[in-house]
Copies of this chain bind each other. A is one copy, B any other.
Amino acid sequence: MTGYASEPVPTVQFGGREDVLDLGWGHPHPAALPVRQWAEAGRAAMDRYGPAALTYGHSAGPGPLIEWLRHRLGQCDALIPRPDQVFVTAGASHGLDLVSALLCRPGDTVLVDSPTYHLALRVLADREVGLRAAPVDGEGIDPDATGDLIGRVHREGGRVPMVYLVPTFNNPSGRSLSAARRAALVAVARRAGTVLVEDDTYRELAYDGPAPPSLFSLDDSGPVARIGSFAKTVAPGLRLGWVTGSAELVRALRLRGSVDSGGGVNHTTALAMAEFARAGGYERHLSGIRDRYRAQRDALIGAVRRELPDVGYDPPAGGWFLWLCLPQPRGGTALLPHAEAHGMSYLPGTPFFVTGAGHRFLRLSFSLFGPELLAEAVRRLAAAYRSDAFQRDPAAGPDG
């Protein structure tokens, strides 16, 4: 074999820049990735299942992983799905791609929360739908106003097949929707005949007590399709996740041509995950990374409190992100080049809105770096914020 000497295509997504602490990436800390344990899990799957681990799999995903997922969801959520309500995906993005492909036709209107996961907007844009912001207020998505908006679209002859949101430890805001709003939103979806596509990627990264019950747990009969993932809990490179939804939805996913032809979408990896999870392996690993990410969250919040006392935020009870709001009239978009000149980076707020809003915000990820580097990144951010160059930058004005 030849060719390793020159590698014109990189190996990984992360393009780390020398001398820049980039808090823009929602990527795991390298030490949180279970390198040794995953090698063991792969070997164990080969030992246990033999050739069955390598041949075409069941279209919904292999039974052993589905059984374990049901068990686990009974621990970290309020409802154990039935076996025919679970579909194993090739990651949350693939789950959203599949579910939205089933639900949407070109020209439909899809409502999205604000702010929300920016790359989900890209997945939905591939459906050639019109993206509109669901109404929000200070507590997040507003169920009654969302129902009214769906009604208006219907009266204009449009379809609203789905509403996308991350109601638990939202990316980017870190916030969770209240129990009352969850119940009201599910009722609105049921009445309107729309599907809440609940991105539940961060449920297991709960640092201050259990995550709230999922929207899916409030009604498993059709109005909610919940997307889960092993990307944050085990490893993103595995491309493994799941969907829980009505049996009808799962049946339709199984019948997609590519799913049926391929024998499921990630069979061998799914069986390795069943081995990784066996005998408490998943819970032990999760406990360790929860402690790590909690410490990183606390370090980031502590540094922001010290270094940027006039910047607003809600301390996130889970997930990977701290969402900062700069004091008027300064904004995260305008600050970015100054921050990079000071050796740190982040994502500005605008990609997380379909409305063009978000200029005052910035998203800091506390997943990739340990406490000391996070504190150093905030020192650099604060220096950029206080710098004459930023304070005098005309782009940093009211619309900056």
Residues of A within 8 A of B (CB): 1-4, 6-14, 27-28, 30-31, 33-36, 38-39, 42-43, 46-47, 49-64, 66-68, 70-71, 83-84, 86, 90-94, 96-97, 101, 105-106, 119-126, 235-239, 256-269, 271-272, 277-280
Contacts and interface: CB of A to CB of B under 8 A. Distances in A.
Nearest to A40: B43
Nearest to A256: B126
Given A11-B52, A13-B57, A54-B238, 4 more contacts: A3-B70, A12-B58, A38-B42, A239-B262
A56 B29 CA distance: 11
A7 B67 contact: yes
Contacts of A55: 12-14, 27-28, 30, 33, 235-237
Contacts of A30: 50-52, 55
Contact of A278 (B1, B10, B49): B1
Given A55-B237, A237-B54, A268 B265 contact: no
Nearest to A58: B10
25 contacts: A1-B71, A3-B67, A4-B67, A7-B63, A8-B67, A9-B62, A11-B49, A11-B271, A12-B52, A12-B57, A13-B58, A35-B46, A38-B42, A38-B54, A39-B43, A42-B43, A42-B272, A56-B237, A96-B258, A97-B258, A106-B106, A237-B263, A237-B268, A239-B267, A239-B268
B269 A268 contact: yes
Nearest to A282: B1
Contact of A46 (B39, B54, B91): B39
A83 B269 contact: no
Q: Which of A1, A27, A86, A265 has the most CB of B within 10 A?
A: A1
A54 to B, nearest CB: 4
Nearest to A28: B55
A349 B259 CA distance: 22
Contact of A90 (B34, B39, B265): B265
A266 to B, nearest CB: 5
Contacts of A13: 55-59, 263-264
Contacts of A51: 28, 30-31, 33, 35
Given A43-B39, A55-B14, A123 B1 contact: no
A319 to B, nearest CB: 16
Contact of A68 (B3, B14, B33): B3
